[in-house]
Chain A
Amino acid sequence: MNKILFFAHLRDEAGHESVEIDAAGKTVAELKELVAETYGVQKLDTSMTAINEEFSSNDEVIREGDTIAFIPPVSGG
């Protein structure tokens, strides 16, 4: 299984801080489509993605046990 984390407005939209999905073997892009459909989350295309706390690209393949975080454009500072 894979833990999926939502932050800021994505969490508000998804209605969850985190969910468990079996995403092993999918690319980040494929997971974004699945999550958009399943949880009604928009704007994933303008979000960054982190796998295990490191930024990753849309074509990266997710492995069993990876934690995936969707990261909207940041606004710290």
Chain B
Amino acid sequence: MNYEIAKEPINVQSVIDKVVQRDAGAITTFIGTVRELTKGKKTLYLIYEAYEPMAVKKLEQIGTEIQERWNGAQVAITHRVGKLDITDIAVVIAVSTPHRNDAYEANRYAIERIKEIVPIWKKEHWEDGQEWIGNQLETVSYPTGKPEEKDLNE
């Protein structure tokens, strides 16, 4: 179970432990946390929601993509859902590879892909309201109904 959606706080070490391997010279860990201020606006808390079975599949797909691109990589990703307070951990990505440069690059790739293809949404709650993030600015559209190759490489 290297790819998980969690309803409880994430144990960072347990994610790291999944990618420990004798061939690794490096493990990089990305920890995504809930930020208080976005463009000067104060967030009180977030609600994350996932289409869970598909989200797990898409996390697995990201892991497969990484293993195709970076030789010898092992990947584990856990994303939390539910109500998260400021400083709480929303996502942990661990990547191990034989050499450190690959571990950094592959880990960066994973978080960018999560933001493109994994069906997880956050609802921001502020002092004066709440909003689902992702579509309101209408900066992203999918005229064909699914992500285009160009969307996936940005």
Contacts and interface: CB of A to CB of B under 8 A. Distances in A.
Interface of A: 5, 7-9, 12, 28-29, 43, 45-50, 53-58, 60, 69, 71-77
Looking at chain B's contact residues, the main secondary structure is: mixed
Contacts of B90: 76-77
A45 B132 contact: no
B51 interface: yes
Interface of B: 32, 48-51, 53-55, 57, 79, 90-91, 111, 114-123, 132-136, 138, 140-147
Contact of A9 (B51, B55, B132, B143): B132
A47 B142 contact: yes
Nearest to B139: A73
B147 A69 contact: no
